[in-house]
Structure 1
Amino acid sequence: MKINTETKLIGLIGYPLGHSFSPLMQNAAFERYLLNKIYIPIEVSPENLETVVKGISKMNFDGFNVTIPYKIDIIKYLDEIDEYAKCIGAVNTVSIKNGVLKGYNTDGIGFLKSYKQNTGTKIEGKKVFVLGSGGASRAVSMTLALDKADKIYICNRTYEKALALSNDINEKVGECSVAVPFFHEDMKTAIDDSDILINTTNVGMFPNIDFSPIDKDLLNEKLTVCDVVYNPKKTKLLQEAEEIGCETVFGLSMLLYQGAEAFEIWTEKKAPVDLMLKILEDGLKEN
């Protein structure tokens, strides 16, 4: 592809960004359709977030993704928010049309597609234990509630953050969420009552691959254990879950489907999912 004055940019805003495979996946998808677009990482320190977003709005950008730690903070710098993203309270995808920045959230949809594709089962009626209360957790947890999960336990090291998210779910969707203190016995009681456990934190992400967000003895063989961390493909949490007989769902699948949704927002074309998956898997092998 020739880069010229007509080339449209799409970025990834976060800090840090050394772990991201999104540029590989999205650029391959653009090339498949011969689109004159380039996806670039934009590592932004917190004090510069507003300045960078304002600059992007005046440049040749079609949009950008947002990752840790800005999925909530980004909202105050946008012109419009999609109703689904507004309900979630977090944004991971932004489109720019005629200078208007509109926020979306594809994380929740990405997780849901990943879960259903890998397990062949529905969320409806299930009890779910969610680790974390940041932007990814908001997207996943709110989507679980909208998809009629029976109960959603939210657990975070800072209990007040778990409580705030749990209350938000109950107010917006219905009484289905409970905040859980980050203490062994409280967590064990909730996990023993759950069908699914989801890690939405970045614990276990490369290069800190020897860490798990919870102790192995909190797991039990009846759980389906999911991790949003995709690098490494099999985190320590998932390794330990498999050792005791749990069904597991890798984070790479969620990355794929949330990225495919974002691609379709920017291009209004069907995402080449098979190609995007191959690129992600190849990238992990080389990492």
Structure 2
Amino acid sequence: MSELTLPFTRDRLGTREMCELILHSGQVALRDINAGELPFEYSANKATLVPGPHGPILEGTPRFGPGYILIKALVSQEHTFFSLINQLALRVVDARVRLDGICGNVSGGMIPGFVLKLYLSHLYGGPVYYFYAREMRKEHGSREMLVGVDNTPFIKEGMNFGDVEELVNNAQTTCNAALTLRASGFRCTHAITILDYANSAAKIQREAINLTQISLVTLPELLAYARDVGKWPGPVIDDYLSYLESPDDWAARNQEAIIRTLQQKEEEHHG
């Protein structure tokens, strides 16, 4: 399958151009916590407020931070989304990787993965197959977690499938998917993503299972570009970088702001 009706170019964009596309999308937000703005509450938050001798205190594991990045939301912005996936396909080809197929990682990697396989099919001049992996958050699973594999005669064991996510932070789901693919009889030599947080712990995890990451932009590159163009004040970017370095230390320094966030949430819940 070499026909392609999607927007396509063989011209490579520079890192700054791709950073501009991502920032212009509006799906990257930073808050000035030191100026009184409230932090974002992440889905993994397990903290609650309990009464204390001098007011409410935090109990549990707070998961709050000064930044929020929603790369998966780019699917609604066709120009940006197709441009980035087009560039990601070129990046795969430039890495001299020949994949038999793509495995989209639920949920953020499903649509990028499917569109990536269309671009790669055009660039390779031949078929690139697709299926998706579900429930990869906790641990790697079995073949039943791979949807679209069974009763599909053209997908064969031994084929090399790249694992796709829209962004990679700690690489847990990335590595789980790679191990699931391998345990199911496939090869998985590469993980592919739009935005890589360039987390050192993630790098160690990937190296431990001999998995190579292909990424379009790293978070340090994105934040450096944001600083250069004055998207946010330097101290706001520095605060987010300090969060990325140690979320627990950041939470300890910003307990007052986290408590105010939970209090506001309770007030909204009770009307």
Q: What TM bracket, shorter-length normalisation?
A: 0.3 to 0.5
Q: Of the two structures, which has the highest relative contact order with CA contacts closer than 8 Å and spacing of 6 or more?
A: 2
TM (norm. structure 1) is: 0.39
TM (norm. structure 2) is: 0.41
